[in-house]
Structure 1
Amino acid sequence: MVRPLVRLRRLVKEGRSDAPGRVVDALGRIGLVGYGVVHLVVAWLALQVAFGQPDAPPDAEGAVGTIARTPGGVLALVVAALGLLAFAVWQVSAAAVGFRWVSGNERVRKRVGAVAKAIAMTSLALVVVNYLAGMRSSGNTTAQQAAAGVLALPAGRALLGLAAIVVLSIAVAMTYTGVRRTFMGDLDVGRLSPGVKHAIEVVGVVGHLARAFALGVVGVLAGAAALYADPAQAGGLDAALRALGSTVAGAWLLGTVAAGFAAFGLFCLADAATRRA
């Protein structure tokens, strides 16, 4: 166990980031670009829902399908899937030996966050792979099927309630990241002009808060499914955004969240160019 960690530390120390080698670093940055593009497309789809002209569900699978239908889209998705998996490996490496510039609780928090990023990137890569393999499904249906499966277990309502609490906790953590701007510490922006750094910070704050808000709605839907023992109450990002669109604020609220997702997509592009962790 010790020897692999020593080798991993050596690989990380030799590179420009916490990625274990230049190939993983390069592919991981491509994956970040793909992650950003998916968020930009989700923002566009959410705007279409807001104005009553839905073309595809405003979630990851809807975005992947939209990209696949563009010229060269399938090839781009293949490359993006490889990049997303490489970034997941990068984050596992960072969780193991990275974040050398901080210590104590801050390092622990960042390493836990890196594990969460690895899970998120792997999940999106699986969405891409499943789509390319022809295994398409509605994100809401999948969420409802998962909720139904949990509710069928002993103490299923408690387990689903616990899952809702976990999702809401992640949303709170995202909110903390956005408000405190801790994401800037993971970027190498020392050589950038103050204006560019401020722009990255602004889109990062807006993007993290928008994602936290949407994920919070997903958590609330899961909590409602647990409370009423009704899996139909559960739903993924598509259901969360449509729920926002059905409120009194309706299109304006959904448009605001869509703008936040677009901001996060732009942040991912800057993240790909400057990330060190």
Structure 2
Amino acid sequence: MSDRVARLRSLVGEGRSDAPGRLVDVLGRLGLAGYGVVHLLVAWLALEVAFGVPDAPADAEGAIGTIARTPGGLLALGLAAVGLFAFALWQVSAAAVGFRWVHGGDRIRKRVGAVAKAIAMSALAILIADYLLDLGSTGGTTAQSVAAGVLALPAGRVLLALGAGTILVIAGAMTYTGMRRTFMGDLDVRHLGPAARQAIELVGSAGHLARALALGVIGFLAGTAALFADPARAGGLDAALRTLSGTALGSSLLVVVAAGFAAFGLFCLADAATRRA
């Protein structure tokens, strides 16, 4: 095991980032850019929901379907899936031996965040792969079916409540990241001018806060499903955005959140170009 870690440190030390090798670095950046494109499409679909377009699925599955229907879309999705898996591998490497420029608690927090990114990227890559293998079949797992499966387990309500609490904690961490702009510490922006840095900070902050709000609603929905032992109360991103649309602020709040998701998509593109961990 120590030899493997030493080899991983050597690979990381040789590159421009914490990716274990040049190929993973390049593919990971492509995957991160694809992640940004998905968020831009989710923002567009959320705007459609805000303006009353029926059956607009404002989530990753809806974005994947939109890409698939474009010329060359299936090929682009295949490349995106490979890139997302590569980025996940990159983040696992960063969690193991990366973030050499920070120490102590900061390094631990960043390594935990890298694990979370690896999970999120892998989940999207699996969703894309499932879509490609099923050729667009809509028989995927929904938040309601996951909640129903958890509730069917012994102490299912407790387990679902713990899951909801975890989601809310992650949303809180995203809020902290967005407000403190700690994501800038993962980027190499030394060669950029002040205006470019400020633009990246702005879209990054807005994007993280918008995603935190949406994730917080997902956690709330999961919590209510646990409280009432009703899986129909659970919901994913599409349900969360529609819930926001149904608040007193109505579609105006959803437009703001959609703008935040678009900002996060743009941030991902900048992130892909400048990320070092």
Residue 29, structure 1, aligned to residue 29, structure 2: yes
- Give me the whole-angstrom Cα distance separating, in 2, the residues matched to 1:133 and 1:33: 22
The 10-residue stretch of structure 1 (71-80 or 12-21) with the greater mean CA deviation from structure 2:
71-80
User: Which letter maps to 1:152?
Assistant: A
- Give me the whole-angstrom Cα distance separating, in 2, the residues matched to 1:46 and 1:186: 29
After superposing on structure 2, the runs of 4+ consecutive aligned residues of structure 1 that deviate more than 2 Å are 135-139
The corresponding residue for 1:213 is 213
Task: List per-residue Cα deviations over 1:122-169 (Å, max 9, x = no partner).
Answer: 000011011111163377x61111101111111111110000000000
| Contact 1:87-1:118 within 8 A present in 2 as well | yes
CA RMSD after TM alignment: 1.0
User: Which letter maps to 1:137?
Assistant: T
The corresponding residue for 1:149 is 149
- Give me the whole-angstrom Cα distance separating, in 2, the residues matched to 1:3 and 1:143: 42
The corresponding residue for 1:252 is 252
Are the structure 2 counterparts of residues 54 and 25 from structure 1 closer, same or farther at C-alpha, using a change threshold of 3 Å?
farther
The 10-residue stretch of structure 1 (217-226 or 69-78) with the greater mean CA deviation from structure 2:
69-78
- Give me the whole-angstrom Cα distance separating, in 1, the residues matched to 2:180 and 2:245: 28
The corresponding residue for 2:194 is 194
- Within-5 A mapping of 1:94-105: 94-105=94-105
Task: List per-residue Cα deviations over 1:164-220 (Å, max 9, x = no partner).
Answer: 000000000001111111000000000100000000000000000000000000000
- Within-5 A mapping of 1:169-180: 169-180=169-180
- Give me the whole-angstrom Cα distance separating, in 2, the residues matched to 1:143 and 1:2: 40
Gaps of 5+ in 2: none
Task: List per-residue Cα deviations over 1:73-95 (Å, max 9, x = no partner).
Answer: 11110110000000000000000
- Give me the whole-angstrom Cα distance separating, in 2, the residues matched to 1:210 and 1:138: 28
- Give me the whole-angstrom Cα distance separating, in 2, the residues matched to 1:82 and 1:54: 32
Task: List per-residue Cα deviations over 1:239-269 (Å, max 9, x = no partner).
Answer: 0001111112111010000000000000000
SS of 2:70's partner is: coil
| Contact 1:218-1:236 within 8 A present in 2 as well | yes
Identity of aligned residues (%): 73
Q: TM-score, normalised by structure 1?
A: 0.98
- Within-5 A mapping of 1:1-150: 1-54=1-54, 56-134=56-134, 136-137=137-138, 142-150=142-150
- Give me the whole-angstrom Cα distance separating, in 2, the residues matched to 1:138 and 1:161: 26
Residue-pair matches, total? 276
The corresponding residue for 2:274 is 274
The corresponding residue for 1:164 is 164
Task: List per-residue Cα deviations over 1:27-51 (Å, max 9, x = no partner).
Answer: 0000010000000000000000000
The 10-residue stretch of structure 1 (129-138 or 72-81) with the greater mean CA deviation from structure 2:
129-138
The corresponding residue for 1:263 is 263
- Give me the whole-angstrom Cα distance separating, in 1, the residues matched to 2:86 and 2:276: 15
- Give me the whole-angstrom Cα distance separating, in 1, the residues matched to 2:163 and 2:55: 31
| Contact 1:18-1:93 within 8 A present in 2 as well | yes
SS of 1:133's partner is: helix
User: Which letter maps to 1:251?
Assistant: S
- Give me the whole-angstrom Cα distance separating, in 1, the residues matched to 2:91 and 2:233: 33
Task: List per-residue Cα deviations over 1:97-129 (Å, max 9, x = no partner).
Answer: 000000000000000000000000000001101
SS of 2:142's partner is: helix
- Give me the whole-angstrom Cα distance separating, in 2, the residues matched to 1:186 and 1:55: 38
- Give me the whole-angstrom Cα distance separating, in 2, the residues matched to 1:33 and 1:55: 27
